[in-house]
């Protein structure tokens, strides 16, 4: 009897019209470092006819306290002008190929498990929602979106740059939603139209060797999430909840997976990168 009453009240309550997509405002996660703030304020879209160059004079005096007892750490001096944009772009050309070759263009993301409630008249029932076989792809579309910002100190150069992913896509190959005896299955797919990645690195000379250390990589902005859910049918009223769950999951789980993967790939590349060709010791 209770189940018949539930279906009768559910029919009386009606269903929402099918939803296809919901727009998302940009979510910003500010960085803590002063250099990051300087970069964010100066960030602008990169075009092919824009290039950044930094003049690093001989014997530049620094403000840092980077020391290495017992190491050969002469002042890092670069004469003339170094086109940092060109250097970064050349590195990215190689990095994109390596990401694809190592099978890191598409990565897996954690499952989603949520519960929800539906009130139909005086009756409130509980349901479950599960997503499995999740993925994010097109990490190989990483590209520079802003000019490189650099600061020269006695023994090191601090570098900051903005990047983006051209076609960031995510999805779940299987989802299941259940409430009482009503259930549905399908797939979820979506795109993130706007995203911004901040990178901070340090160039140093020690023991006759030039090194680049990755200090920070963060997906600090993302927005424009467009989501498609198949198979909802009579449960199309669940779409807005699914959108919220996927968005929250992106901020808490998927974002970290993207940052971890890109950090790992960049560090692998930098471990074999001979920066002395670009920053010679004088």
Residue 50 CB neighbour total at 10 angstroms: 11
Q: Where are the domains of the chain?
A: 20-42+70-277
Q: Which tokens go with 30?
A: 């500010």
Contacts of 4 by beta carbon, 8 Å cutoff, 6+ apart: none
Q: Which tokens go with 197?
A: 């990645």
Q: Which tokens go with 43?
A: 């960030």
Rounded distance between C-alpha atoms, residue 232 and residue 215, angstroms: 44
List residues bridging with 227 in a β-sheet: 190
Mean pLDDT (the chain) is 77
Task: Provide the CA 141 distance to its chain's centre, in angstroms.
Answer: 12
Asked whether the predicted pLDDT for residue 247 surpasses 60, the reply is yes
pLDDT of the residue at 20:
42
Q: Contact 221/192 with Cβ under 8 angstroms?
A: no
Q: What is the pLDDT of residues 183-198, one digit of tens each?
A: 999 999 999 999 999 9
Q: What is the pTM of this model?
A: 0.71
Residue 10 CB neighbour total at 10 angstroms: 20
DSSP states of 175-244: EEEEETTEEEEEEEEEEEEEEEEEEEEEEEEETTEEEEEEEEEEEEEEEEEEEEE-S-GGGGGGHHHHHH
- Looking at the domain covering 20-42+70-277, what would its CATH class be? alpha beta
Q: What is the pLDDT of residues 2-12, one digit of tens each?
A: 555 554 445 44
CB neighbour burial string for 80-98, b if at least 16 within 10 angstroms, e if fewer? eebebbebbeebbeebbee
Rounded distance between C-alpha atoms, residue 252 and residue 264, angstroms: 19
Instruction: Pick the closest to residue 271 from 217, 210, 184 (CA basis).
Output: 210
Q: What is the pLDDT of residues 45-79, one digit of tens each?
A: 333 333 344 444 333 333 233 333 333 333 333 43
Q: What is the CA radius of gyration of the chain?
A: 25
Q: What is the pLDDT of residues 213-239, one digit of tens each?
A: 999 999 988 889 999 999 999 899 999
């Amino acid at each position: 009897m209770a189940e018949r009453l539930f279906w009768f009240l559910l029919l009386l309550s009606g269903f929402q019209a099918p939803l296809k997509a919901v727009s998302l405002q940009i979510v910003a996660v500010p960085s803590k470092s002063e250099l990051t703030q300087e970069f964010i304020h100066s960030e602008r879209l990169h075009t092919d006819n824009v290039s950044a160059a930094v003049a690093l004079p001989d014997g530049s005096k620094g403000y840092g306290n980077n020391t290495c007892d017992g190491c050969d750490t002469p002042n890092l001096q670069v004469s003339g002008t170094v086109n940092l944009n060109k250097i970064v772009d050349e590195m990215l050309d190689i990095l994109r190929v390596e990401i694809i070759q190592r099978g890191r263009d598409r990565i897996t993301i954690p499952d989603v498990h949520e519960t929800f409630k539906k009130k139909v008249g005086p009756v409130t029932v509980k349901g479950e929602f599960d997503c499995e076989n999740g993925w994010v792809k097109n990490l190989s579309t990483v590209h520079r979106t802003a000019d490189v910002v650099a600061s020269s100190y006695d023994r090191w150069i601090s570098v900051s740059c903005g990047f983006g992913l051209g076609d960031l896509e995510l999805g779940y190959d299987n989802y299941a939603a259940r409430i009482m005896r009503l259930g549905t299955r399908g797939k979820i797919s979506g795109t993130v139209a706007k995203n911004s990645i901040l990178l901070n690195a340090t160039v140093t000379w020690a023991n006759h060797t030039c090194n680049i250390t990755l200090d920070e990589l963060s997906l600090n902005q993302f927005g424009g999430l467009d989501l498609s859910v198949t198979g909802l049918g009579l449960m199309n009223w669940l779409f807005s909840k699914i959108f919220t769950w996927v968005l929250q999951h992106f901020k808490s789980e998927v974002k970290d997976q993207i940052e971890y993967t890109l950090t790992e790939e960049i560090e692998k590349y930098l471990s074999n990168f001979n920066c002395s060709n670009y920053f010679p010791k004088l």
